[in-house]
Amino acid sequence: MIKLRLKRFGKKREASYRIVAAHATTRRDGRPLEELGFYNPRTKETRLDVEGLVRRLKEGAQPTDTVRRLLEKAQVFARLREMGTPTAAPAVAVASEGQGV
């Protein structure tokens, strides 16, 4: 499973975080699949690659609680709902037709 989570970087007591897509079993600061944003909790600065985040969410990536809150503030989930999930409904119909029911 792919998770959207924070990867810590920066000096001691001056942490910043990158929002990354990584396998659920990899270490917190391990090599990510893709970097999708930046978050600085001290200044509340957030930069997001919204298209990349929407693509990963459509693929089934699960955000952690903190990342979910950041995405809700940036209204990424609203954009995801606008775009819809065109692959979800037809996949069920194709599976039932292929079984000859």
Residue by residue, pLDDT tens for the chain (101 residues) are 999 999 999 999 999 999 999 999 988 777 889 999 999 999 999 999 999 999 999 999 999 999 999 999 999 888 888 877 554 444 344 444 444 44
The helix, strand and coil proportions of the chain, stated in percent and rounded to the nearest 5, come to 35, 35, 30
How many structural domains does the chain have?
1
Closest by CA position to 56, among listed 19, 101, 97? 19
- Residue whose tokens read 């999708």: 36
Q: Residue 41 maps to which CATH number? A: 3.30.1320.10
Q: For the CA atoms of 53, 73, 77, 48, what is the dihedral angle to 10 degrees?
A: -10
Domain housing 37: 2-98
pTM of model > 0.85: no
